[in-house]
Amino acid sequence: MKVKNLKPTIGFIGAGNMGLPMIKNLIKKGFQLKVYDINPKITKRLDKDNIKTVNNLRAVANNNFIISILPDTQNVESVFNTDSGIISYLKPGTIVIDMSTISSSSAIEIGKVLQKKQIEFVDAPVSGGVKGALNANLSIMVGGKKETYKKSLDILNSLGENVIYAGKLGMGQVFKMCNQIMVGSHIQSMCEAFALCKSKGGDLKLLKETLIGGSANSWMLENLGNDVINKNEHAGFRIDLQLKDLKLASEAAFESGVPLPGLSLVLALYLEARAHNEGKNGNQSLFKTYDRMSNQK
The residues assigned a catalytic role are 176
Among 17, 62, 232, 250, binds ligand NAD (CB under 6 A): 17
Nearer to ligand NAD, 192 or 251 (CB): 251
Nearer to ligand NAD, 54 or 228 (CB): 54
Q: How far is the CB of 270 from ligand NAD (least distance, A)?
A: 14
Taking the C-alpha atoms of residue 134 and residue 139, their distance in angstroms, rounded to an integer, is 13
User: Binding of ligand NAD at residue 139 (CB under 6 A)?
Assistant: no
Size of residue set near ligand NAD by CB under 6 A: 25
Stretch touching ligand NAD by CB under 6 A, among 8-16, 25-33, 156-164, 167-175: 8-16
User: Binding of ligand NAD at residue 16 (CB under 6 A)?
Assistant: yes
Q: How far is the CB of 70 from ligand NAD (least distance, A)?
A: 5
> Residue type for 84, please?
S
Q: DSSP E strands: which ranges in the chain? A: 9-13, 32-36, 65-68, 95-98, 120-123, 126-127, 138-143, 160-167
Q: Which residue is nearest to ligand NAD (CB)?
A: 16
Nearer to ligand NAD, 218 or 242 (CB): 242
Complete DSSP assignment for 99-118: -S---HHHHHHHHHHHHTTT
User: Binding of ligand NAD at residue 121 (CB under 6 A)?
Assistant: no
Residues 171-195 as b/e (b if ≥16 CB within 10 A, e otherwise) read: bbbbbbbebbbebbbbbbbbbebbb
Cβ pair 53, 47 in contact under 8 A:
yes
Complete DSSP assignment for 103-159: -HHHHHHHHHHHHTTT-EEEE--EESHHHHHHTT-EEEEEES-HHHHHHHHHHHHTT
Q: How far is the CB of 13 from ligand NAD (least distance, A)?
A: 5
Report how many helices (DSSP H) and strands (DSSP E) the chain contains, helices first: 13, 8
- Cross-strand pairs, 67: 12, 97
Nearer to ligand NAD, 119 or 177 (CB): 177
User: Binding of ligand NAD at residue 129 (CB under 6 A)?
Assistant: yes
Residues numbered 71 to 110 that lie near ligand NAD (CB under 6 A) are: 71, 75, 78-79, 100-101
User: Binding of ligand NAD at residue 167 (CB under 6 A)?
Assistant: no
DSSP 2: P
Per-position x/- string for 228-247, each x denoting binding to ligand NAD as judged by CB under 6 A, each - no binding = ---------x---x------
Per-position x/- string for 28-47, each x denoting binding to ligand NAD as judged by CB under 6 A, each - no binding = --------xxxx--x-----
Stretch touching ligand NAD by CB under 6 A, among 67-75, 147-155, 252-260, 267-275: 67-75
User: Binding of ligand NAD at residue 18 (CB under 6 A)?
Assistant: yes
Nearest in space to 75 (alpha carbons), one of 47, 103, 105, 94:
103
- Cross-strand pairs, 98: 68, 123
Which residues bind to ligand NAD, rule: CB under 6 A? Answer: 13-19, 36-39, 42, 69-71, 75, 78-79, 100-101, 126, 129-130, 237, 241
